[in-house]
Structure 1
Amino acid sequence: MPSSPFPVEPAPPDPSAPPLILVGASTRAAAWSAIRAGWRPLCADLFGDRDLASLTRVITVGDYPRGLPAAVGQLAEGLPGPCPRVYTGALENHPEIIDALAANGPLWGNPSDVLTLIRDPWWVARLCQAHDLPCPTLRPGTDPPPRDGNWILRSTRSGGGSGVVDWSPEFSPESLPDRDRGGLVFQQKIHGRAAAALCVGDGRSARLLGTTIQLVGQPWLSATRWAWCGSIGPLALPQPIDDRVRRLAEVLVSAAGLRGLFGIDMVINDHGAWPVEINPRYTASAEVLESASGESMIAEHLAVFSTTRARSETSRMARSDGLACHGKAVLFAPADLEIRDLPLSSPEPVTAASPWYLADVPHEGTTIPAGRPICTVLTSAATNDSCRENLQSAAEAVYQSQER
């Protein structure tokens, strides 16, 4: 495969490579990472996108997430022994599924009792307060604050910005999906830059692997107000804020026993790093840091759980041009779309002024309902601003290609 300014999909895994079951809403990025780390992923997710299906076995789960345990059982059939399973987003909101996965094979991820702690915003707030770390003020969902633009209302089962609304005079409870109306909390709106830290823990201590800028609610991606829709990085933090993020990661791991990869969604401003949500698994931003560093992030995760297989040389990706910034963006359907002739990359991507490459590519003829993800754009550039410009150019090209 020719060198390019950004990583394209890996070659198919070696059939003799050890198997690894991956489950989640989308497993493509984690699967690419696993292949680069020398593993053979077997996947179950919502989409079964064609660039994943071309590399390895994938089961598209219609009854998601309840159908995941059965799909995992199918993937495990015929394997010579117990196969480890790793989950991606946003299964942390479904501890009963995590328990079912763990009941029938080795779970290389955080168990449900850890999820109960780390996904409780009140627990996180108390922990931050005890360690003199900043954290947004919370109020119970039954104790509404003034509708003055300084609060959001979120579900305790939110993920990727779903189940989050502005607490304003225009708010209507009907704007929240039915599934999100159970556990609600008001959270102080913090003004600053949306960012995410990717960390790895071993149950006792933590390492910060990198930080990214978060793209949230971008109109040029047809995203809703609070929807996560991409990442750009790595983001260099001022040393005092970097120190705070590292300390927060250490506190979370030592208090909850977090193991493997985890993400901290946060807002950065002059007063520090304010945690908004903790994601106790491989995150969508991990792919950006993997592209920038050349290191498989799944390899970092698996090294915590595997005593027999350390990170190998295959976990390193070839780097060709030294571009400093890498990015990804998720394009959402502005209306119902039937996918036809998606442009898979920019013209002559190796030499183009704004190179980009598509991933999470749906099968030809797939109907994408309005508001659902179409695909992902990957790119790299010399600066964060030019990386964002590449993503915007790609989004425009993809949307134009689907106009009828």
Structure 2
Amino acid sequence: MLAVAALSARALVDLAALDGMAVVALDVFGDADTVKRAAHWHPIGTPGRLEIDGTRLLAALEALARDGDVDGWIAGAGFDGRPGLLEAGAERLPLLGTGGGALRRLRDPRAFFAALDDLGLPHPAVSFEPPADPAGWLEKDAGGSGGWHVQEAAPDRPAAPGRYWQRWRPGLPMSATLVANGHDAVVLGFNLQTVRPVAGRRWVFAGIVGPLPVPPAVERTIVRAASVLARRFDLHGLASLDFLLDGEHAELLELNARPPASAELYPEVGRGGALRAHLRAVTRAELPPPPPPPRVLNGHEIVFARRALVLDDIAAARIAATPLARDWPRGGQRFDVGDPVCSLAAAGADAAEVLAALATRREALLAFLENR
């Protein structure tokens, strides 16, 4: 048996179920569908903090190692800026994925953008000192994720470890879902990211749709980037490469070295599903063939609270009964403005159809929750 650990482990639990695997889930939220579908669930944080508690995580991994029923663990979202915690976890139970040392190098913005320059890969201009004129610049934190760390540059922000500035550039926010084995990588497909303002932050990741076609020149650039970066940064397993798509041109933004949210868009990867492909890449260095063209597009998005909410049992049951609702919260939970309440999924013939279905379902659900 395996364990999966993340801020929310629901997607990893579902991916495991598609491959016929039962897993132990370690996460912060303890959503009802996660607990229902996992073999066991262990809390590793408090939902309102949106952060993994390192002490609780390590205690849970130690307990699983002592019990002897779990062979290893997969790390999902929540570890992006915490390579030391990955390393400590791997000392207690084998980590099945990119290691902490590799993540430390990858999340060093000086090392990452120097590698892009060395490999001839395009990216927006970056600076490690505050720009004299902040207009047209974004400030980012290399340890952040989900867009919560992105903000417009301000004149009073000094340089700091992990902090860097990046030129704002036009384009659609995209990602490539990939599987790597430390020497090479296979791109499974390309995805359109939904980014919207949430709780005072302008560029928060809210959802994803795919797989989508991209221009041939862009496909060649991203496929090459995935391969050379997998080798340069010793990537193992599922990962995603974020980029901006502007017509026939792409500029790389960042690389997430863990199973991404977009993995759910790829239920068939080689001989099995996305999580099976992850494990084969990690344990056997085996990469899947590129998947065939999709028969349908899929998408999902996070529903964020627009105002403070207290969820009663009736509302929790309504969410659980909503078609294609995921990450079911429990009755009695409190949500502040900007807190994730649940997520929704949809399918369609094209991205516009999927996005429209998601928007309709989101607005209907929020209207119900806000008018009780």
Counterpart residue number, 1:357: 324
Is residue 393 of structure 1 aligned with residue 360 of structure 2?
Answer: yes
For residues 46 and 335 of structure 1, do their structure 2 counterparts lie closer, same or farther at Cα, with a shift above 3 Å needed? same
CA contact (8 A) 1:122 1:138 kept: no
CA contact (8 A) 1:218 1:229 kept: no
What are the equivalent positions in structure 2 for 1:5-404 lying under 5 Å apart? 19-56=1-38, 57-62=40-45, 64-66=52-54, 67-80=56-69, 83-140=71-128, 142-148=129-135, 150-167=136-153, 182-217=161-196, 224-270=201-247, 272-290=249-267, 296-307=273-284, 324-340=296-312, 341-342=315-316, 343-344=318-319, 356-403=323-370, 404=372
SS in 1 for 2:111: helix
SS in 2 for 1:380: strand
SS in 1 for 2:243: strand
CA contact (8 A) 1:260 1:302 kept: yes
For residues 190 and 368 of structure 1, do their structure 2 counterparts lie closer, same or farther at Cα, with a shift above 3 Å needed? same
Moved more, 151-160 or 334-343: 334-343
State the alpha-carbon separation in 2 of the partners of residues 310 and 35 from structure 1. Answer: 21
One-letter code aligned to 1:227: V
One-letter code aligned to 1:147: P
One-letter code aligned to 1:61: I
| Length, aligned pairs only | 357
State the alpha-carbon separation in 2 of the partners of residues 358 and 294 from structure 1. Answer: 28
For residues 133 and 33 of structure 1, do their structure 2 counterparts lie closer, same or farther at Cα, with a shift above 3 Å needed? same
Give how far 1:218 is off.
Answer: 5.3
SS in 2 for 1:397: helix
State the alpha-carbon separation in 1 of the partners of residues 287 and 339 from structure 2. Answer: 38
1:374-393 superposed Cα distances (whole Å, 9 cap, x missing partner): 00101101121010011001
SS in 2 for 1:225: strand
Moved more, 333-342 or 368-377: 333-342
Q: TM-score of the superposition, structure 1-length normalised?
A: 0.82
SS in 2 for 1:92: coil
Q: TM-score of the superposition, structure 2-length normalised?
A: 0.88
Give how far 1:121 is off.
Answer: 2.3
RMSD between aligned residues? 2.8
SS in 1 for 2:300: strand
CA contact (8 A) 2:151 2:201 kept: no
State the alpha-carbon separation in 2 of the partners of residues 116 and 155 from structure 1. Answer: 14
CA contact (8 A) 2:140 2:151 kept: yes
One-letter code aligned to 1:84: G
State the alpha-carbon separation in 1 of the partners of residues 271 and 192 from structure 2. Answer: 19
For residues 188 and 98 of structure 1, do their structure 2 counterparts lie closer, same or farther at Cα, with a shift above 3 Å needed? same
Give how far 1:289 is off.
Answer: 2.9
CA contact (8 A) 1:323 1:381 kept: no
State the alpha-carbon separation in 2 of the partners of residues 323 and 306 from structure 1. Answer: 30
